[in-house]
Structure 1
């Protein structure tokens, strides 16, 4: 079933430059092709159901990869534009804080201000600041506490989910209609992790992944049970993290509306539910409960409102490029005022950390070329 599913995923990427697609979404294409395969299956009914259940688990996994509730929401035509960066994933020993700490170490002290949420970016203006007599600034950044920072340029790197929620108030004057429409059209979903810590491992020493398959599910059936009754069925399973000293941890992944519902539950409710799930899948009703639970809550976080972007049905890679374009965009040579970076502004590496990093370099280079066009900044280009 994995060979079938990922073979079909490879096929979806062939529509990138096609004049038209047979269906709008990746999910619809996968289901149409699977339906044709099912018609040729000759096994008994129980085996056929199990194969469909396994395929359904791969759909759930792909939802986590794309950060979407359903693959039916992911556009088919541009799906092949996403590029997988070669090489292994990198895990920072101190988490992402280790990466930002390294960056901060290269900056002069007191150049970064924390705990200053921005309320509105005022642009295309003529703002003055007492500390800079006689100088005017086109941009003024208004914080939620009332403080203002004048600026020649602002690079906006907030997550797309935040932009979607605050689009009407975050920019003054409002963004041009086509850029605002791109923000509305690009997809942005939720993918969360749930870490379970155990006193002792119940899995085999060489086990790396515990994948969950619910035998009564099928990607060809649009079953939509109540979230409170079945949210955990969207869980793809658990990755076994490398043991550290006497710490034994499983990391579960869950995407979509079920993931967002999980965020509303208490830690105790999540622990109880997943203990029952693990007891069921292991067949051991006395399996010890995890000693602790830690989960991400990306949708609840006010400055993210989700995890990362995808190219939704109705949008294209051009919308990501449009989001990345700086303002003003009238082509009159007006000084660049608002620049945009972040994973949702990278056409081929969206949803990734390296996409976010490269987009930041892109905008830094844009400003460098504006202020010091004679200085060439060598950077790796991907």
Structure 2
């Protein structure tokens, strides 16, 4: 009988548990427990729930890529392919001083910015003396502006320059929400290409993304997953080990109001990098090796939050045509006329000026989304619900002449302030490199008198995958990787015994 304790019931933990059960569950050779600190399964996969009629994901939303994406066939099979929909992107509408900016102008500027971002990905590793993505983009953007002025490619009015720079700044903020950094100056340029973008087939699941995780766990015994059980220590045991177990996992069971402990032969630790940053130095006994602690400190872990918006209109046509996405440039026209104190009261939102994405999911209820990152996301988390609700209303009103319906309700994430996560996902920071993701994934060996050549603590989660970090499929692949590692160790042990 092999005793396995998995810490965390997010994508990585659920994947590892499912793989181990599939391989060993029917043999009766597996004693498996999954310890989850929160009151639900899913980790950073989280549906808005019944409170929002239009539904929506507060956490992981996208299945990024079809070719080579290990999670695509799983989600596709779980929904029979009926709810996995490839997204088609439309050019966003920009509002400046209460008017729509010429869409051709917006498209031209965004094409220029995208070309610069592509150059950062493809050529960044070969550029000397430029450390951050932000530094590279700013230098390239300045050079682009000089070329445009020289060639007379765009109207050279002051307004034109202001508009171009506003669009550029908005696109940089969107890139921050993609990469989870506070600023693109935090993102290391020569490591920008480490992330494997796969292909351009980005899909959303109209059914809750949690569906496929629950499907994974369905074959397990109900008592396998222990919710509201926060791990307080993972101890590698030497001569003092109980019942021959190389590991003792201690936890606090909030439902029982008591401390609990589990003897284990293996532990797969899948907590977020945010938790590792906050608790990594104290949760392991003996402490983590200096090299792993350094990787934890060096890697970036940022905050990206969503605000989901439900409107009063249901299946009825919305008066006026709303674009798929829109964003605000500069100061709202009403503020210039002295009639918009909201721009000061809700400056945290107006200064960030997020893209508003519109969708009408299968529920038939119109839904909007805003993505916030960095300091703005953390500031939003500190506001009460009523303040955020009114801020969203004011921002949508400032996007006139677009006629957004009246807001009925909102739902929002708070990934940074949730102690079970401490943020959203990882990135390659200025002081880190791709090898830090691999260092974080390195297992820890048993202590003597146990076999010191045998790993007993394994690590999974999106921040342990060098090329798929920050993604749901990275978390999935890491959970699968560690389950295979554990099964391989068991197979080798059996071969030696025979």
| 1:25 aligned onto 2:143 | no
**What SS does the aligned partner of 1:53 have?**
helix
How many Å apart are 1:168 and its aligned residue? Answer: 2.2
Q: Are 2:143 and 1:6 aligned?
A: no
Aligned to 1:267: 385
Q: CA shift at 1:50, angstroms?
A: 0.5
* Per-residue CA distance 1:56-99 (angstroms, 9 max, x = gap): 11001000100111100000011011111336334345423212
Mapped partners of 1:68, 1:17: distance in 2: 19
Which has the larger displacement, 160-169 or 32-41?
Answer: 32-41
The gaps in structure 1 that reach 5 residues or longer are 130-134, 217-224, 376-382
What is the deviation of 1:209? 1.5
Q: Which moved more, 1:82-91 or 1:145-154?
A: 82-91
Q: Which runs of 5+ in 2 are unaligned?
A: 1-108, 150-155, 253-257, 333-342
CA contact (8 A) 1:194 1:294 kept: yes
Structure that is richer in strand per residue: 2
Displacement after TM superposition at 1:41 (Å): 3.5
TM-score (normalizing by structure 2): 0.67
- Give the deviation of 1:124 after TM superposition: 4.5
In the superposition, relative to structure 1, how do residues 126 and 94 fare at CA in structure 2: closer, same or farther (>3 Å)?
Answer: farther
**In 1, Cα distance between the equivalents of 2:137 and 2:304?**
21
Q: Distance between the aligned counterparts of 2:441 and 2:174, measured in 1?
A: 29
Aligned to 2:15: none
**Which residue, 326, 331, 340 being the options, matches 1:210?**
326
The number of equivalent residue pairs is: 359
Q: Give me the whole-angstrom Cα distance separating, in 1, the residues matched to 2:479 and 2:237.
A: 23
Q: Structure 1 residues 276, 17: CA separation in 2 closer, same or farther (over 3 Å shift)?
A: closer
Moved more, 160-169 or 55-64: 160-169
Contact map agreement 2:300 2:427 (CA 8 A) in 1: yes
Match of 1:222 in 2: none
Corresponding residue of 2:83: none
Q: CA 1:167–1:40 in structure 2 vs 1: closer, same or farther (change >3 Å)? A: same
Match of 1:234 in 2: 352
For residues 335 and 244 of structure 1, the distance between their equivalents in structure 2, rounded to whole angstroms, comes to: 50
- 2:480 aligns with 361
CA distance in 1, matches of 2:288, 2:493: 32
> Once the 2 structures are TM-superposed, how far is the Cα of residue 152 of structure 1 from its aligned partner?
1.0
Q: What is the Cα deviation at residue 143 of structure 1?
A: 0.6
Structure 1 residue 229, shift from structure 2 partner = 2.8
Higher RCO (CA 8 Å, separation ≥ 6 residues): 2
Report Cα offsets for 1:7-58 as digits up to 9, x if no partner.
111111234653x633110001000111122223331111011100001110
* Mapped partners of 1:39, 1:187: distance in 2: 34
Task: Give 1:120-135 correspondences, 5 Å limit.
Answer: 120-126=233-239, 128-129=241-242, 135=243
Per-residue deviation at 1:136?
Answer: 1.2
2:400 to 282, 297, 309: 282
Tell me: CA distance 1:307–1:10, structure 2 relative to 1, closer, same or farther (3 Å). same
In the aligned structure 2, how far is the partner of 1:329 from the partner of 1:313? Answer: 33
What's the CA shift for 1:235?
4.3
Stretch of structure 1 that moved more, 353-362 or 166-175 = 166-175
How far apart, in 1, do the equivalents of 2:349 and 2:287 lie?
38
Output the TM-score relative to the length of structure 1: 0.87
Q: Counterparts of 1:169 and 1:374 in 2: how far apart (Å)? A: 31
Q: 1:17 to 1:227 in 2, by over 3 A?
A: farther
The answer to whether the 8 A contact 2:237-2:245 is kept is: no
Stretch moving more, 106-115 or 350-359? 106-115
Q: Indicate the residue corresponding to 1:55 in structure 2.
A: 168
Q: Distance in 1 between matches of 2:142 and 2:125?
A: 25
* 1:45 maps to which of 158, 164, 167: 158
Corresponding residue of 1:143: 251
Q: 1:298 to 1:320 in 2, by over 3 A?
A: same
1:132 corresponding residue in structure 2: none
How far apart, CA to CA, are the structure 2 residues paired with 1:329 and 1:2? Answer: 53
- Judge conservation of contact 1:227–1:258 (CA < 8 Å) in 2: no
- What pairs with 1:338-357 in structure 2 (closer than 5 Å)? 338-357=457-476
Q: Which residue of the partner structure matches residue 26 of structure 2?
A: none
Q: Distance in 2 between matches of 1:167 and 1:254?
A: 27
CA contact (8 A) 2:446 2:456 kept: no
Structure 1 position 204, deviation (Å): 5.0
